């Protein structure tokens, strides 16, 4: 397997372009199943997860073409001839469940395997299913597949999510666009990716109000048309690269970054002593003097601190002055990066969903192993601040969510290289 070698060095300087959002694009792509007309997505990220979703959609009969070096995706679902999302594809990525709502809404039936993805907790799909049932779907779980049907089509209904779920909100939102009547989704997710999906669906002719709040109202329409839509900036990649100069010093401008996407995260950086400034092109992040200060972090649904930046933030706090407490409230089993950081000299104690980090003067380079997507990049960030060489193994996780990470970091002065499997 490939590995990444990071040699800790001096401060960083320069610009890093931020890609389109992986989590937004993976939701926008299944929206093609709602219409017979073409959907074009610009600012698409070039990631293995995008290729997996492409394979899944093509297996259903959709046409997907990658244009402009992968930054533009042209999709068409005029001929959906297969309504079964097979385990061999779906097991690779949890976002695969997002084909369920659109297929069910458009054609009244679908069979979708229970999904896979990073091993960061159970993340059950029951909320997806319960929301669809509220719209009249008939569901049967057997042999590892969800067998869904709505012989007379979906109908509008009201569903209150007992827990905020981004994926379930997205699935229900897409399904409701073609349901008969009005659907109201309460305690809905507010993430920018939800707003981005709603914007795209409106361009296709959907009638949606309230996205970005906890109550979304959808008036179903008979059909949706085609559209061209630009994928929103990836706020998790943005936050990740904002942490690079925070960890090892210097000044980096993240092109395309917006404060509104990472407000809660920026507040924690400010408390730690990191400067964030808006520019005409994005966000400039700098750390000039001394160690960062310890801060406490609790992950929450948007607009709170993102769970997908928790591992990276922990890497920063490993060298902070003082003791920080990180509380993970979104996913269980999401501190698997902690033992690897401890191999580098970090002082971390984990008890259930809480990690206590006591900062040290310096981390030490060591061989470490990535356990999931965000953990992998947290170890790379830690390596930037460590003395000596850090070898991050099992970096195939990284390819699911970060394009050209070596090129982007080396472009601002990091000493980093990828070693190909021989």
Which residues are catalytic, by number?
118
**22 marked as binding residue:** yes
Within a 10 A sphere around the Cβ of 155, how many other Cβ atoms?
17
Q: What angle do CA 149, 123, 143 make, to 5 degrees?
A: 45
Closest to 197 measured CA to CA, from 241, 221, 166 = 166
Tokens 């990828």 belong to residue: 418
Closest to 242 measured CA to CA, from 316, 186, 192, 294 = 316
**180 marked as binding residue:** no
CA distances from 324 to 304, 347, 383 (A): 18, 11, 20
Return the DSSP state at 262: S
**43 marked as binding residue:** no
Tokens 């070898």 belong to residue: 391
**Crossing angle of helices 310-317 and 263-272, rounded to 10°:** 10
**126 marked as binding residue:** yes
Task: List residues bridging with 118 in a β-sheet.
Answer: none
Closest to 110 measured CA to CA, from 74, 61, 73, 76 = 61
- Cα 231 to Cα 44: distance, rounded to the nearest angstrom: 6
- Residue 287: CA count within 13 A, CB half-sphere: 24
Pairing of strands 354-358, 323-327: antiparallel
Pairing of strands 297-298, 323-327: parallel
**218 marked as binding residue:** no
Given a contact cutoff of 8 angstroms between Cβ atoms, the answer to whether 80 and 33 are in contact is: yes
Q: What angle do CA 207, 208, 209 make, to 5 degrees?
A: 130
Closest to 65 measured CA to CA, from 56, 57, 74 = 74
**125 marked as binding residue:** yes
Residues placed in the known binding site for UDP-N-acetyl-alpha-D-glucosamine: 94, 123-127, 308, 330
The annotated binding site for phosphoenolpyruvate is made up of: 22-23
**Which residues participate in the annotated binding site?**
22-23, 94, 123-127, 308, 330
């Amino acid at each position: 397997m490939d590995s990444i070698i990071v040699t800790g060095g001096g401060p960083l300087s320069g610009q890093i372009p931020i890609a389109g959002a992986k989590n937004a694009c993976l939701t926008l792509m299944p929206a093609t199943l709602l219409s017979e007309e073409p959907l074009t997505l610009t600012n698409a990220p070039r990631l293995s997860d995008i290729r997996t979703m492409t394979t899944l959609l093509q297996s259903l009969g959709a046409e997907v073409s990658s244009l402009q070096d992968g930054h533009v995706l042209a999709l068409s679902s005029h001929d959906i001839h297969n309504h079964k999302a097979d385990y061999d594809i779906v097991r690779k990525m949890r976002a695969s469940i997002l084909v369920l709502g659109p297929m069910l809404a458009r054609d009244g039936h679908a069979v979708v395997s229970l999904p896979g993805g990073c091993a960061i907790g159970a993340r059950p799909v029951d909320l997806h299913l319960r929301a669809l049932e509220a719209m009249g779907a008939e569901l049967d779980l057997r042999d590892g597949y969800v067998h869904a049907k709505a012989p007379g089509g979906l109908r509008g209904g009201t569903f209150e999510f007992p827990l905020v779920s981004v994926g379930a909100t997205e699935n229900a939102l897409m399904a409701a666009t073609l349901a008969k009547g009005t659907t109201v989704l309460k305690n809905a997710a507010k993430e920018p990716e939800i707003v981005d999906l709603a914007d795209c669906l409106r361009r296709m002719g959907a009638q949606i109000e309230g996205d970005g709040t906890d109550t979304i109202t959808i008036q179903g329409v008979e059909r949706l048309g085609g559209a061209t839509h630009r994928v929103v900036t990836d706020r998790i990649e943005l936050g990740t690269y904002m942490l690079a100069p925070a960890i090892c010093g210097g000044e980096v401008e993240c092109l395309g970054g917006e404060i509104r996407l990472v407000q809660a995260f920026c507040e924690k950086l400010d408390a730690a002593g990191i400067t964030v400034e808006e520019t005409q092109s994005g966000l400039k992040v700098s750390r000039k003097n001394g160690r960062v200060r310890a801060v406490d972090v609790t992950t929450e649904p948007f607009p709170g601190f993102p769970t997908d930046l928790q591992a990276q933030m922990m890497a920063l706090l490993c060298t902070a002055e003082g003791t920080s407490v990180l509380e993970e409230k979104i996913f269980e089993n999401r501190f698997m990066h902690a033992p690897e950081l401890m191999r580098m000299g970090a002082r971390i104690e984990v008890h259930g969903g809480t990690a206590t980090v006591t900062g040290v003067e310096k981390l030490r380079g060591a061989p470490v192993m990535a356990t999931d997507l965000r953990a992998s990049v947290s170890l790379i960030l830690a390596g930037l601040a460590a003395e000596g060489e850090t070898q991050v193994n099992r970096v195939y996780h990284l390819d699911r969510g970060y394009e050209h990470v070596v090129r982007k970091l080396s472009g601002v002065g990091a000493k980093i290289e990828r070693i190909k499997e021989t």
